[in-house]
């Protein structure tokens, strides 16, 4: 996909030219990272360094943003209002959302979408070259939304086109980008974050080198950790580096037991996500006998919302069917939509064709897969963490908007809204506003518990992925979590990493420790955290596991 015409390219410093200092370092080039960098530049901060682990080509960004198919949710229709979007988000979150964060998300979201359109994103329904006009944007319905409010670009290419528009805007703004640079650690001086330690790939295949960049402020936008699981929708770079680095530095984390699984991932030799929007258009789920198990009153898996129930409900139903069929996939039947599928979902249509499927005539075999971590580094609505000098936005952050189950298509919106807010707060701090971090107790409604698990186990990645998928994936119980904890505790400690893979493996091992610790601390089922042994457990709702590393 090409960038919009007239776009510039960001300056790409060579590894030998990595600056020793920047006013602000933003780590990550998904929607949150690029929005934060642009927000800083727009507010007059010239000395911004944008860091990405992937190669920067001036056309597409990094992280999971470009992989997003479904769209971005925002109130733009006359038949919709912010209160309804808030209510839908809170309902999907199963009582574990932060109401103020949800209010901010839904209230400020439409304005951030207009800004994104002004930065070059052509949403479906808009006229090319015309001023951004939300009333012209086509709106779709997705699961757990009470109104059609999901906006798309290029059918199912919303994430890719969002990424391309932001990359072009970063280039036009002249923001320098340091690519192929992996976050190893945060620099902490006198109790505040003062920069980043990076492993930067050498030019033309030369060895990577360790580099330190000091900064007055660091914004983490490093995404999730889907590679912690053997089945995931996430790109290869989603290894939890930001979360792990923040934990080692002393940040507070919360809601890490809440991992969302996507219910419809194609069970093909090369798996791919089949967007929620396909079910929003009318596709249905069937078992191998053709029974529509979410809608058939005789089915024990039936739900009054059928295929448009929240993701955790649909994912568990699909998993139950797969188990009942001895591992054979469930079937996503979109054949009633016929040729409409090719124009509405051109990307998915191409992936089906590559897999030898004609989904206009035959159903797509599907299974659940790890999709989105709703917990993360705990922040307030300004993006501040418990560590002075550190802000976080996007999937790496736990803002409180998702609670126990993210409402479909709220993730891109979260990145836009809270990254811009973080940028605004960083500017205020650089201008002299109080720079302290947020007190840990303010970030979570549960008691902050100090946890002595700063180290990472050295377990081969494939083995770790299989263990976490089996014991901390869709279905959990005390026995499985204890088995996982013992496997992690029994592994040798990871040494100081010298390569990108070693940094990533250390990050994944630490993320596994934090996941199991949080899951063990919530004995009841709530949203995406489903305990098969939860009978009789008292629900705690928003009284969440909030963890802080115990000082050694």
Provide the β-strand partners of residue 265. Answer: 273, 367
Reported in sequence order, the residue ranges of 278-381 that DSSP labels E, i.e. its strands, are 284-286, 330-333, 364-373, 376-378
- Per the annotation, the verdict on 311 as an active-site residue is yes
- Residue 365 region by backbone torsions, left for phi larger than 0, else alpha for psi between -120 and 50, else beta: beta
Say which of 103, 180, 211, 311 is annotated catalytic.
311
The helix/strand/coil state of 395 is: helix
Q: State the Cα–Cα distance between residues 253 and 176, nearest whole angstrom.
A: 30
Q: State the Cα–Cα distance between residues 110 and 413, nearest whole angstrom.
A: 9
Give 339's Cβ-side CA count (13 Å radius).
0
Which DSSP symbol is given to 337?
G
Which DSSP symbol is given to 361?
T
* CB atoms closer than 10 angstroms to residue 484: 23
Give 329's Cβ-side CA count (13 Å radius).
19
Q: State the Cα–Cα distance between residues 478 and 497, nearest whole angstrom.
A: 32
Q: CB of 387 within 8 A of CB of 251?
A: yes
Q: CB of 258 within 8 A of CB of 528?
A: yes
Which DSSP symbol is given to 230?
S
Q: State the Cα–Cα distance between residues 28 and 517, nearest whole angstrom.
A: 26
Q: Tell me which residue of 458, 454, 439 sits closest to 552, measured CA to CA.
A: 454
Contacts of 183 (CB under 8 A, 6+ apart): 27, 51, 53, 196, 197, 198, 222, 241, 242, 245, 503
Orientation of helix 500-520 relative to helix 478-490, angle to 10°:
140
Distances (CA, A) of 234 to 143, 195, 260: 21, 27, 12
Provide the β-strand partners of residue 364. Answer: 332
Structure tokens, 19: 């600056």
Contacts of 256 (CB under 8 A, 6+ apart): 373, 375, 376, 514, 515, 517, 518, 519, 545, 547
* CB atoms closer than 10 angstroms to residue 175: 21
209 φ, ψ (degrees, to nearest 5): -135, 150
Q: State the Cα–Cα distance between residues 366 and 363, nearest whole angstrom.
A: 9
Distance of CA 416 to the CA centre of its chain: 12
Contacts of 18 (CB under 8 A, 6+ apart): 178, 181, 198, 200, 211, 213
Q: Which residues are catalytic?
A: 311
């Amino acid at each position: 996909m090409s960038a919009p015409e007239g776009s510039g390219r960001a300056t790409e410093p060579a590894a030998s030219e990595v600056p020793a200092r920047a006013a602000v370092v933003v780590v990550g080039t998904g929607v949150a990272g690029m929005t934060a960098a642009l927000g800083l530049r727009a507010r007059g901060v010239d000395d911004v360094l944008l860091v990405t682990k992937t190669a920067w080509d001036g056309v597409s960004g990094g992280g999971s943003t470009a992989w997003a198919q479904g769209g971005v949710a925002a109130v733009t229709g006359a038949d919709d209002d912010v209160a309804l979007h808030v209510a839908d988000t809170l309902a999907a979150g199963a009582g574990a959302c932060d109401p103020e964060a949800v209010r901010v998300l839904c209230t400020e979201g439409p304005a951030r979408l207009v800004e994104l359109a002004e930065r070059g994103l052509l949403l479906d329904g808009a006229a090319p070259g015309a001023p951004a006009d939300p009333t012209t944007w086509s709106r779709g319905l997705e699961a757990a939304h009470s109104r059609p409010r999901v906006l798309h670009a290029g059918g199912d290419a919303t994430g890719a086109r969002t990424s391309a528009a932001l990359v072009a805007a970063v280039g036009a703004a002249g923001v320098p980008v340091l690519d192929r640079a992996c976050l190893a650690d945060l620099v902490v001086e006198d109790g505040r974050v003062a920069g980043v330690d990076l492993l930067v790939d050498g030019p033309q295949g030369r060895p990577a080198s360790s580099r330190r960049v000091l900064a007055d402020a660091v914004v983490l936008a490093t995404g999730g950790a889907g590679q912690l699981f053997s089945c995931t929708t996430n790109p290869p770079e989603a290894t939890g580096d930001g979360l792990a680095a923040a934990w080692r530095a002393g940040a507070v984390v919360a809601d890490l037991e809440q991992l969302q699984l996507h219910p419809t991932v194609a069970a093909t030799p090369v798996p791919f996500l089949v967007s929620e929007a396909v079910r929003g258009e009318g596709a249905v789920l069937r078992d191998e006998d053709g029974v529509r198990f979410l809608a058939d009153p005789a089915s024990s898996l039936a739900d009054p919302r059928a295929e448009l129930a929240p993701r955790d409900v649909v994912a568990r139903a699909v998993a139950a069917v797969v188990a009942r069929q001895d591992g054979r996939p469930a079937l996503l039947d979109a054949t009633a939509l016929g040729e409409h599928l090719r124009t509405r979902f051109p990307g998915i249509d191409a992936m089906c064709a590559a897999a030898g499927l004609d989904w206009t005539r035959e159903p797509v075999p599907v299974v659940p897969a790890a999709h989105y971590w709703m917990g993360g580094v705990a922040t307030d609505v300004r993006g501040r963490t418990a560590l002075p000098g550190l802000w976080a936005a996007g999937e790496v952050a736990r803002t409180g908007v998702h609670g126990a189950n993210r409402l479909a298509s709220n993730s891109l919106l979260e990145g836009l809204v809270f990254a811009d807010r973080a940028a605004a707060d960083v500017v205020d701090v650089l201008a002299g506003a109080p720079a302290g971090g947020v007190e840990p107790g303010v970030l979570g409604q549960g008691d902050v518990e100090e946890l002595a698990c700063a180290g990472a186990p050295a377990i081969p990645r494939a083995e770790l992925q299989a263990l976490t998928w089996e014991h901390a994936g869709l279905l959990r119980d005390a026995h499985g979590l204890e088995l996982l904890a013992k496997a992690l505790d029994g592994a040798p400690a990871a040494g100081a990493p010298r390569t990108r893979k070693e940094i990533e493996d250390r990050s994944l091992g630490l993320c596994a420790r934090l996941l199991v610790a949080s899951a063990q601390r919530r004995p009841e089922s709530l949203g995406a955290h489903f305990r098969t042994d939860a009978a009789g457990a008292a629900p705690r709702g928003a009284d969440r596991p909030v963890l802080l590393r115990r000082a050694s």
